[in-house]
Amino acid sequence: MKNRAIKLMCSATLLLCGHYQAHGADTPGFRDLFNGKDLSGWANVNTDEDTWTVQDGLLVCSGHPIGVMRTEEQFENFILHIEWRHMEAGGNSGVFAWSAGTVPEGRRLPMGLEVQMLELDWVNLHKRNDGTLPPIAYVHGELFGAGGLKATPDNPRGSRSQSIENRCKGKGEWNVYDVVFVDGVVKLSVNGKFVNGLSHSSVKKGYLCLESEGAEIHFRNIRIMELPPGITSDEQIAPVVED
């Protein structure tokens, strides 16, 4: 069923491109969200001035303090390409989609649909008191609603959706996420293979946020392909932040 849904989504994208070509319009393409030079297009939400820096063409996050920065734009239907690598064993981070552009008082992270980015040793560093491992051997690539966003997991681990195959690489190695966000449905590809998804997101338009959560992480090649909008009610759109 999941493979069929992915094939249908890909077919719909091809038909959409054919429609644009038939009508002489520009076919949707990817554009950069990070230019490799500075933080143009991004706004700090609740981290320090030096949490996010650009070094040798990479977006470097120190991991401190816990918080996020966000895009200046909101997005509804789109495909996100993002490459990342953790620099510390057990590092934790992620990207929030359809997210609020602010963080409520008393919290450190916003409402949004989180795409988890965990270094592989995280599970070994969070053993139970008796020394045994948690019931799942890896938790990278999990998808879940945070801060009040609701969604239906494809591969339930409680309210979260877990990847059905471990495809992430460890500390210091680059990982590639390609994520489709369309009409409240999310499909995640990790290093070239679709392994997770969810549907019925309660919010379907908002900001993209990158997460700082205690460990250094690097990002590169952050690109987005915007797709046509759908039928989205006011309740399904994150509040606009006036910069």
Please give the full DSSP string across 158-169, using - where no structure is assigned: TTEE--SS----
The single-letter code of the amino acid at 6 is I
* Residue type (1 letter), 208: L
pLDDT digits (tens, 9 = 90+) for 110-159: 999 999 999 988 877 877 777 666 666 567 899 999 999 999 999 999 89
Q: What is the predicted pLDDT for the residue at 136?
A: 61
**What is the spatial distance between Cα 152 and Cα 161, in angstroms, rounded to a whole number?**
8
To the nearest whole percent, how much of the chain has pLDDT over 90? 78
Cβ neighbours of residue 148 under 8 Å, at least 6 residues apart?
A: 111
Q: Which carries the bigger pLDDT value, residue 123 or residue 92?
A: 92
- What are the two backbone dihedrals, phi and then psi, of residue 3, each rounded to the nearest 5 degrees? -65, -35
**Does the pLDDT value for residue 63 go beyond 70?**
yes
* Residue 176 predicted with pLDDT over 90: yes
Asked if pLDDT for residue 19 goes beyond 50, the answer is no
Q: pTM for the full model?
A: 0.88
Average pLDDT over residues 182-189: 98
Percent of the chain with pLDDT over 70: 86
In this structure, of 124-138, 206-220, 229-243, the range with the lowest mean pLDDT score is 124-138
Q: Where are the domains of the chain?
A: 30-229
Residues with Cβ within 8 Å of 242's Cβ and at least 6 positions away in sequence, in order, are none
pLDDT of residue 28: 85
DSSP secondary structure string for all residues of the chain: -HHHHHHHHHHHHHHHHHHHHHTTPPPP--EES--SSS-TTEEESSS-TTSEEEETTEEEE---SSEEEEEEEEESSEEEEEEEEESSTT-EEEEEEEE-SS--TT-SS-SEEEEEEE-GGGTGGG--TTSPPPSSS--TT-EEEETT---EESSEETTEE--SS-----TT--EEEEEEEETTEEEEEESSSEEEEEE--S--BEEEEEEE-SS-EEEEEEEEEE-------GGGBPPPP--
For range 188-201, the mean pLDDT: 97
**Distance of alpha carbon 202 from its chain centroid, rounded?**
16
What is the fold of 30-229? Jelly Rolls (2.60.120)
211/95 Cα distance (integer angstroms): 6
Q: Please give the backbone phi and psi of residue 69, each rounded to the nearest 5 degrees, phi first.
A: -120, 160
Planar angle of CA 240, 144, 4, nearest 5 degrees: 105
Sign of CA dihedral 71, 75, 177, 14: negative
